[in-house]
Structure 1
Amino acid sequence: MEQMEIPYEVKLDAFTGPLDLLLHLIRKHEIDIYDIPVSLITQQYLEYLQLMKELNLSFAGEFLVMAATLIQIKSRMLLPQEAETPMEEEEGEDPRSELVRRLVEYQQFKDVAGELSDREKFWRDMFQREPMDVPKIREVLMDDVSMFDLLGALQEVLTRTEAQVVVDITPDTLTVQDRINGIIERLEDNPTITFTSLFDNATTRLVVIVTFLALLELVRMKLVKIFQGDLFGAIRISRTFLAEVDGNKTDGPGESDGLDSLNHGGNNGNGYH
C-alpha cells in the first residue's frame, strides 16, 4: 500500500469515540450486538484506524486502547478449550460479554440523549423567543452523517481507485487549497453534488486523500453541508455559501465569510510534495 507523509492535521467536533465506531460497524454489517463476530469487527476496526492515521486525523488514545481490547478478545476466542484455566472453565464467560455490556449501555445512553435532543428541538420550535440582533452562528453541518460514514465511503472510493489500471500523471505538487478551490467551483455550478462524484477524475490514492481532506476543511469552515437521506445511503454535499452569477451573489442558504477568507489566501496552500 502506498504510504504518504501528510503534513496536515484535521480536527472536527463531529468526531466521536471508539464505541461509536464499533456501533457503526455493527449497524453497517447488520450484526447481532449479542453475537459479535470479533474477527471481522477487529479487522474492520483496524482498517478504519489505519485510514484515520493515514489521513492524519486527530483521535484520542482510547481508540488504540479499544484496538488492543479487540485483539485480546479475538486471541482469547482463538484459544482451544483445553488451554483455558480451571477458573475460566468454571465461569464459562464469553470473552465478548464485557464489550457487549459496554456497547448496549452506551447505545442506551445515546438513545436517551437523542430523545432529549429531539424534545429540545420540539420545544424550541414551539416556544420561540423574540429574535435578537446578534450574528448568526452556524454549527458544523454534518446532518445524519458521522465521520465513520465518511471514512466508509472513502474506503470504497480508494478500493475502486486502486483497482484501476491507469498511468500515474499526478502533478509533482498537489495542495489541499487546490482541491478546495475545485470543490467550490463545482458547488457554484451545482448547489448539491454526491460525495462519490468528487473523485470522478481521481486516478491515484494521493488525489483521493487530498480531495477528502479538502472536503473536511470545507466542513470545518462551515462552507458545505453533508447529509445522508437514508441509513448507509448516498452521501451528498451542498453549499452553504452564496454562489456568484455574473458578479451577483445568489441561490445560497448560508453566509460567505469563510469563502471570503479562502479568496484572501487562507490555509496557506497546505502543499503535498
Structure 2
Amino acid sequence: MHIEQSLTPRFPDVNVEELRDAWLDILKRARLVQHHKITREELSVREHMSLVLRRLQGRRFVEFEDLFETQRGPQVMVVTFIAMLELAREHLIELTQAEAFAPLYVRLAYQPS
C-alpha cells in the first residue's frame, strides 16, 4: 500500500489573541517615533494590499512586524493591518506561527499554476 504525504509543512493556526498581541506591540513601537503633526491623508486599503503583496514577492516568509512602516504613523499602520486581514480573507496571504508566543510570519498563499 502506498500512502502519499504532503511536502508542504503544516503550521499551527494563528489565533486572534496572538494576532492582537502582535498588533499591540507594533502600535507600542509606533508611539515611540510618533510626531504630533496633524494632517489629512487619504489612505487606500487596496493600495496597501498591493504594497504588502509586492513586499512579499520573491520572499519565503516575512515577519509580521516588518510589514509595518512605524515611522509613517498609526493611521498607515491601521490601513496596512486591515489590508493584511483582507488579503488573508481572500486567501492571498497566509499568517503562520511555529509555536505559541513565537513571532508571526506572513507569506504569499500557494497559487497553483
Give the TM-score band, short-chain normalised: 0.7 to 0.9
- C-alpha separation in 2, matches of 1:196 and 1:148: 16
- Structure-1 residue corresponding to 2:47: 178
Does residue 1:193 correspond to 2:62, yes or no? yes
* Mapped contact 1:195–1:236 kept (Cα < 8 A): yes
Do 1:226 and 1:235's aligned partners in 2 also have CA atoms closer than 8 Å?
Answer: yes
The aligned residue for residue 76 of structure 2 is 207
TM-score under structure 1 length normalisation: 0.35
Checking the alignment, whether the CA contact within 8 Å between 2:30 and 2:73 is kept in structure 1 is yes
Aligned length: 106
Deviation at 1:191, TM superposition (A): 2.9
Q: TM-score, normalised by structure 2?
A: 0.79
Q: Please give the residue correspondences for 1:85-104 in structure 2 after superposition, counting only pairs within 5 Å.
A: none
Counterpart for residue 230 of structure 1: 99
SS of residue in 1 equivalent to 2:82: helix
Equivalent position to 2:13, from 122, 128, 144:
144
C-alpha separation in 1, matches of 2:3 and 2:111: 24
Deviations 1:79-108 (A, max 9, x none): xxxxxxxxxxxxxxxxxxxxxxxxxxxxxx
Identity, in percent, stands at 26
Aligned counterparts of 2:59 and 2:39: Cα–Cα separation in 1: 26
Alpha carbons 1:224, 1:237 under 8 Å: kept: yes
1:189: how far off?
3.2
- Deviation of 1:162 after TM superposition, in Å, equals 1.4
The separation in 2 between residues aligned to 1:170 and 1:255, in whole angstroms, is: 43
**What letter corresponds to residue 224 of structure 1 in structure 2?**
I
Q: Note closer, same or farther for the CA distance 1:216–1:164 as it changes in structure 2 (3 Å cut).
A: same
1:109 is matched with which residue? none
* Structure 1 residue 160: Cα displacement: 1.1
Q: Distance in 2 between matches of 1:215 and 1:169?
A: 26
Which structure 2 residue ranges, 5 or more long, are not aligned? 5-10
CA distance in 2, matches of 1:182, 1:225: 16
The structure with higher relative contact order (CA 8 Å, sep 6+) is 2
> Which secondary structure does the structure 1 equivalent of 2:57 belong to?
helix
Larger Rg: 1
